């Protein structure tokens, strides 16, 4: 069972629908006991860093997440979830969870695409991810696959945590983390078959990790 | 680099896929969920549903369609038509859509753009604008006017001014539909598309007039659009979405090739 962490930020149901489609058992929850009983956590989110952090603090989810991660439970952050696992976001000048070293930055309007045209902000649409190191989430996924992005801020973690990068006006980190604690800036639940495969890979990893304990 | 998006648009009436003939009379041409699924399988990058049902009952049916689509299709999709309040937006988003498209409601009550953006984020709010070419005047300096009701009602608003205003109000994306080009199959209104795309920082979707794959190439090169909306070119089996993307890729346009 996967726990989709419920912190009232954005479209949790789209992640649930994708997991339902894949027949992966899951529940949307903020309950410590339910979360403790799950094999892995998904930390999704659409919205703003400031209000998300305020809710995470108020609801106790911040402590629950820190506890579960320290205990080695796998977690997959998505979009805003990916950003607030870092230490700081200039969005609402917010101190974020700090579970991965680094910060967020914003796309600036002076950036241009590879063909010289000025970039649109937000970065909205399909783009590729170049893997900088191996990651089991991408097992069986073609390197030419594209993923669906919608964001104006991008993660900028410490270099050793960069897993995948994407080009949009500049190269930025689109997948970060370490074994068992991964995040994607894009939305796997909205990225067609490659995205669904990534969610299946995460669940497979969670099952293995749970069985190994 | 970001891929250019191909977005089939499905008109839905009472839960059925329909095709209007220049806003006069409609024929049902299939099931929206099955059709959307087919386009998803063929590589559509996004899907737009436009609810042309006016009635209250129709809205309930549309939400069922949205839910069915959301459980089977894992690309973004938006829903437009008849959305005029934040509550309408919430219903559609909770049913599983990523984005809401507002058109005439945005013209009549522009604050809905800001309210929607504040409640759900700018990325959710697409503003559709129907545009008609008119003689340039003091009121309409660009020579493009905003119209509603399929072009029957002139609003006296300059389209270029409106595009910038809509961006300022918090829209995340603009869908620029040329009433002159719509239904002609002669190609998108490239001058209009480029005028708007060069004047805002949010992505612009070109709409109206697609008749062959080259038109789509033109929309995203000459027209500088981020995406091209298509309808009849795929609804009647003339082309598949895959055909269109292959053609665009052959012409050097970056499109998503693996799905």
pLDDT at A9 (0 to 100) = 64
pLDDT tens per residue across span B37-65: 999 999 999 999 999 876 667 778 899 99
Compare B167 and A7 and report the one with higher pLDDT: B167
pLDDT at A79 (0 to 100) = 93
Lowest pLDDT segment from A14-23, B20-29, B105-114, B166-175? B20-29
Please give the angle made by the CA atoms of B92, B7 and B237, to the nearest 5 degrees: 115
Say what percent of chain B tops pLDDT 70: 96
State whether CATH 3.20.20.70 applies to domain B5-250.
Answer: yes
Domain positions in chain B: 5-250
pLDDT at B53 (0 to 100) = 78
pLDDT at A46 (0 to 100) = 75
Interchain pair B74, A192: CB under 8 A: yes
pLDDT at A68 (0 to 100) = 97
pLDDT tens per residue across span A91-103: 989 999 999 999 9
Q: Is the pLDDT of residue B74 over 90?
A: yes
pLDDT at B175 (0 to 100) = 98
Instruction: Select from A173, A172, A178 the least CA-distant residue to A136.
Output: A178
Interchain pair B2, A193: CB under 8 A: no
Find the distance separating the first CA and the last CA of chain A, reported in whole Å: 16
Is A39 part of the annotated catalytic residue set? no
User: For the residues A62-71, what does the mean pLDDT come to?
Assistant: 96
The pLDDT confidence band at residue A137, using thresholds 50, 70 and 90, is very high
Q: Is the pLDDT of residue A188 over 80?
A: yes
Say what percent of chain B tops pLDDT 90: 81
State whether CATH 1.20.1250.20 applies to domain A2-212.
Answer: no
Asked if A91 has any chain B CB less than 8 Å from its own CB, the reply is no
pLDDT at B25 (0 to 100) = 64
pLDDT at A29 (0 to 100) = 95
The question of ipTM being above 0.90 is answered as yes
> Do A39 and A6 touch, CB atoms closer than 8 A?
no
Q: Among A122, A123, A154, A185, which would you mutate to test the B interface (most chain B Cβ atoms within 10 Å of its Cβ)?
A: A122
Q: Which two tokens stand for residue B167?
A: 């961006």
User: Does the predicted model carry a pTM greater than 0.80?
Assistant: yes
pLDDT tens per residue across span B1-26: 899 999 999 999 889 998 765 555 67
> Do B184 and B202 touch, CB atoms closer than 8 A?
no
From chain A, the residues in CB contact with B259 under 8 A are: 192-194
Asked if A108 has any chain B CB less than 8 Å from its own CB, the reply is no
pLDDT at B20 (0 to 100) = 63
From chain B, the residues in CB contact with A145 under 8 A are: 258
Reported for A167-173, long-range contacts at CB under 8 A and 24+ positions apart, including other chains, are: A167/A114, A167/A127, A167/B1, A168/A107, A168/A111, A168/A113, A168/A119, A168/A123, A168/A127, A168/B1, A168/B2, A169/A107, A169/A108, A169/A111, A169/A112, A169/A113, A169/A119, A169/A123, A170/A107, A170/A111, A172/A105
């Amino acid at each position: 069972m996967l726990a989709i962490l419920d912190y009232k930020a954005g479209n949790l149901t789209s992640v649930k629908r994708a997991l339902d489609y894949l027949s992966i058992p899951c529940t949307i929850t903020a309950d410590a006991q339910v979360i403790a009983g799950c094999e892995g956590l998904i930390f999704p989110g659409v919205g703003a860093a400031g209000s998300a952090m305020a809710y995470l603090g108020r609801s106790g989810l911040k402590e629950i997440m820190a506890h579960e991660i320290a205990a080695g439970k796998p977690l997959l952050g998505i979009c805003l979830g990916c950003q607030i696992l870092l230490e700081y976001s200039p969005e609402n000048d917010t101190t974020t969870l700090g579970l991965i070293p680094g910060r967020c930055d914003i796309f600036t309007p002076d950036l241009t695409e590879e063909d010289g045209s000025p970039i649109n902000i937000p970065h909205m649409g399909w783009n590729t991810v170049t893997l900088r190191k191996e990651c089991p989430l991408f097992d069986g996924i073609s390197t030419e696959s594209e993923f669906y992005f919608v964001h104006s801020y991008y993660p900028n973690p410490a270099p050793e945590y960069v897993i995948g990068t994407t080009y949009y006006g500049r190269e930025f980190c689109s997948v970060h983390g370490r074994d068992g604690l991964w995040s994607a800036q894009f939305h796997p639940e909205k990225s067609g078959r490659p995205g669904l495969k990534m969610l299946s890979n995460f669940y497979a990893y969670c099952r293995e990790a749970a069985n190994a304990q | 680099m970001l891929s250019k998006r191909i977005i089939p648009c499905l008109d839905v009436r009472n839960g059925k896929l329909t095709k209007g003939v220049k806003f006069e009379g409609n024929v049902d041409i299939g099931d929206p969920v099955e059709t959307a699924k087919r386009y998803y399988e063929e590589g559509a990058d996004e899907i737009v549903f436009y609810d042309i049902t006016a009635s209250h009952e129709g809205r309930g049916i549309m939400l069922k369609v949205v839910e069915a689509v959301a459980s089977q299709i894992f690309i973004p999709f938006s829903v437009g038509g008849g959305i005029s309040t934040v509550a309408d937006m919430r219903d559609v988003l909770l049913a599983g859509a990523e984005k809401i498209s507002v058109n005439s409601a945005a013209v009549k009550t522009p604050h809905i753009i800001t309210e929607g953006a504040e409640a759900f984020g700018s990325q959710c709010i697409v503003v559709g604008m129907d545009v008609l070419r008119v003689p340039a005047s003091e009121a309409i300096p660009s020579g493009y006017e905003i119209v509603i009701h399929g072009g029957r009602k002139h609003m006296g608003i300059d389209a270029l001014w409106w595009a910038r205003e809509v961006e300022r109000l918090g829209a995340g994306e603009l869908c620029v539909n040329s009433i002159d080009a719509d239904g002609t199959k002669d190609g998108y209104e490239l001058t209009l598309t480029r005028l708007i795309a060069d004047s805002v920082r949010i992505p612009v979707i070109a709409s109206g007039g697609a008749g062959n794959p080259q038109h789509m190439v033109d929309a995203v090169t000459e027209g500088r659009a981020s995406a091209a909306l298509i309808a009849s070119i795929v609804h009647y089996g003339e082309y598949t979405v895959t055909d269109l993307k292959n053609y665009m890729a052959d012409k050097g346009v970056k499109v998503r090739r693996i799905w």
